[in-house]
Amino acid sequence: MFKTVFTLFRGTVAVAEEELQDRTALVILDQQMRDAAAAVDRSKRTLALAIAGDQQEGRRLDATNARIADLEQRASAALEGGREDLAREAAQAIANLEAERDAAMTARALFASEITRLKRHVGNAEARIAELDRGRRLARASEAVRSLRRSGIEAARPYESTLPEAEATLKRLRERQMEIQAADEALIEIDAAAGPLATAEKLAEQGFGPRMKSTADDVLARLKARRPPAA
């Protein structure tokens, strides 16, 4: 039982962690990209230092080669002038300069290798960051659309529940009004058919008592009576 409860607890924690990561994925991605961009900036500074060091070693190498060439000319002139002692001194200086030249050349080779590696690393990192940035913009756009849809659905839900109710209410109201109107008309007909006036009209039609309504003959007789007598 304890093992089951512990497993359930671990599962719940894992699900909660996944949900937290999903909710904060964009925030985490933003920070990861900032960290990656900072690392690339550090690599760029390292690359700049390597290039500066290579340029410095290049200037040192050029100066050393120039000094070597100058001393070789002077040593040759000393030999021609019979001053082997001076020529030997110049030769020693040349040997020292050649050692410095070789060191500068080795340093430049190391710098060249490191510069190539750093350029490749920075270029690859910048391309990946650019790809991540495009993906992040798409993710943000998708999240914004999803949020708008969710907001639209939530905003529409009250209307979705109210509109059918309003339509049903209107339908019931119309049906009730039609029922009331039909009942009123039926009552009028009943009253007209069973009331005293209806009875009097029925008797008049049978010749019992004066007619309740004028007829065409009545109207003609009345009009004739209004005519002046013939001269």
**Residue ranges of the domains in the chain?**
15-151
The answer on pLDDT for 209 being more than 80 is no
Residue 98, CA atoms < 13 Å, CB-side half-sphere? 9
Cα dist. 12→5, 22, 69 in Å?
Answer: 10, 15, 79
Average confidence (pLDDT) over 137-156: 72
pLDDT value, residue 23: 62
Distance of CA 105 to the CA centre of its chain: 54
Lowest-pLDDT choice from 32-46, 50-64, 148-162: 148-162
d(CA 170, CA 178): 12
d(CA 225, CA 158): 76
pTM surpassing 0.85? no
Tokens of 43: 């690599």
Higher per-residue pLDDT: 196 or 154: 196
Q: Are 57 and 111 in contact (CB under 8 A)?
A: yes
Give the CATH fold of the 15-151 domain: Helix Hairpins (1.10.287)
